Amino acid sequence: MKKSPLQIARAAYQPKLPAALKGNVVLSEGAATQSVADQADIKKLFPNTYGMPTIQFVAGEAKKYDAVNVGVILSGGQAPGGHNVISGLFDGLKKMNPNSKLYGFLGGPSGLVDHKYVELTADIIDEYRNTGGFDIIGSGRTKLEEVEQFDKGIEICNKLGIKAIVIIGGDDSNTNACVLAEYYLQKKCGIQVIGCPKTIDGDLKNEMIETSFGFDTATKVYAEVIGNIQRDANSAKKYWHFIKLMGRSASHVTLECALKTQPNITLIGEEVEAKKQTLDDIVTYIAQAVANRAAKGLNFGIVLVPEGLIEFIPAIKKLISELNDMLAANQAEFDKVADDQKIDYVVKHLSKENAAIFESLPVAVSRQLALERDPHGNVQVSLIETEQLLAEMVGKKLAEWKKSGKYVGKFATQHHFFGYEGRCAAPSNFDADYCYSLGYTASMLIGAGKTGYMSSVRNTTEPADKWISGGIPITAMMNMEKRNGKMKPVIQKALVKLDGGPFKYFASKRDEWAINTDFVYPGPIQYFGPSEVCDQPTHTLLLEHGKNI
């Protein structure tokens, strides 16, 4: 395969590891844990994996490890750094015992069930070091939650002599990893399961998991292109750019990009929900900011919109919740309804209030809400064109205001959606190091005989040398939530905290950014050069750790 000069230089990059992982490690156990909520329910559902202690790896004496065969799965959406998790895992396993083997299950969790796999040899791993993408083994969104699937997993693991599986995924995939770990313990089949925190959305985090991998690189890519668009807007001075950013459930990506680029308007879904805003409130807020700038002769600007916005609007959230329950209860009947009758079916089966809201939505949005779900039952918000919807609604409002003289200006718009552009970018130094360390830590958890743990690398606003490597029981992150009409144990999503450092900083600045043109142009990710240019973690991480940006 032909490679660019940067790819060649990047292949030679040696990711940094926490100091403790550079030599021999021993395990130090912390306090016993409990789940973030619903302790009694989670304990009952996970009798074998509940309450385990947190773990930290510290430098120690050399130890002999038996050779072990391990399987690895990439699950869900791509995130920069996945290949480095796998290379860190590979190197860690080989360091413990050079006869250990790593198998990659192909195409996501379905590879385990359908017995599709490849042995990952040193030659294959070397091709993918420090590269973006998940193409080394592919990914998929198949849910692992049926006993038959778990048993198919045991079959292939027995055939290949696999004693541990590493699942690299987001909150849903790691929830499934924990269910699998619990089942394999109950069955006493001797297969460990370890999770790794992945998602560009940044919503899988807590005290021990400071960030999910991929968030750093993806937001750096989006911030670069937002900056480029800002410079274009400030040069041409004729367009308002509406930019939707990925982040299915949480607005971390949008908030991080705002902190990096200082656009005029940024919507944060979590705030919309807390303030119980309606779609009209949001449109009015944007229109007012456009009118204020127009009064200063500035008929251009930037609006950032998180892709999950729609689901945060309380009225629509209620509608989606009823839709989920109704569809779950009537799934068999609904599946038989002809495609062109499905919307009518939905309207007839909703409460009056929600049916009215459903019918008031643009057809494209209502179709998405009712008909297009991913295998975890999530609304596929990346397919809803919120940026266009908002631009049109703001345009209409401004046209009304123009009639009454409340607004004088020109309003021409451009729309963008940045998501897929960032998910497979070559990992930043931060993600390259963080992912390699996560993978390496996963190998240590396997060596320590652990199961039901998520690989954890902390203290990430310090240089990599000072990072702390360990594991956190997945049950400690769980609570009970309604999924497809039933209460299920799931990892609690980390949403933007309105009293947290990143949001508070943004809120203190946004009025100035709205009226002025205070754009920042971050430029492209730098892989080589001074540390302050190449190795900076996200603004979100810095502010969450009480540091300045």
Please give the positions annotated as active site: 201
Which single residue is written with the structure tokens 């599986």? 165
CB of 407 to ligand FBP, least distance (A): 34
- DSSP secondary-structure letter at 537? -
Q: Are 162 and 156 contacting, i.e. CB atoms less than 8 angstroms apart?
A: yes
- Cα 521 to chain center, whole Å? 24
The answer to whether the Cα torsion of 370, 374, 377, 383 is positive or negative is negative
Q: Which is nearer to ligand FBP, 268 or 464 (CB)?
A: 268
Q: Are 174 and 491 contacting, i.e. CB atoms less than 8 angstroms apart?
A: yes
CB of 249 to ligand FBP, least distance (A): 8
Closest CA to 97 of 72, 71, 69: 69
Beta bridge partners of 103: 71, 119
Q: Which residues bind ligand FBP (CB under 6 A)?
A: 76-77, 79, 170, 198-201, 246-248, 307, 381-382, 419, 423
CB of 76 to ligand FBP, least distance (A): 3
How many CB atoms are located within 10 Å of the residue 296 CB?
A: 11
Q: Which is nearer to ligand FBP, 32 or 383 (CB)?
A: 383
Three-state SS for 165? strand
- The region that residue 58 occupies, defined by phi over 0 for left and psi between -120 and 50 for alpha, beta otherwise, is beta
Q: At 365, phi and psi to the nearest 5?
A: -70, -45
Give the whole-angstrom CA distance, residue 542 versus residue 20.
23
Q: Which is nearer to ligand FBP, 167 or 350 (CB)?
A: 167
The answer to whether the Cα torsion of 244, 286, 405, 292 is positive or negative is negative
Give the whole-angstrom CA distance, residue 195 versus residue 179.
11
Give the whole-angstrom CA distance, residue 324 versus residue 508.
37
Q: Which is nearer to ligand FBP, 56 or 386 (CB)?
A: 386
Q: Which is nearer to ligand FBP, 49 or 219 (CB)?
A: 219
CB of 79 to ligand FBP, least distance (A): 6
CB of 172 to ligand FBP, least distance (A): 7
CB of 21 to ligand FBP, least distance (A): 25
Q: Are 445 and 194 contacting, i.e. CB atoms less than 8 angstroms apart?
A: yes
Q: Which is nearer to ligand FBP, 92 or 169 (CB)?
A: 169
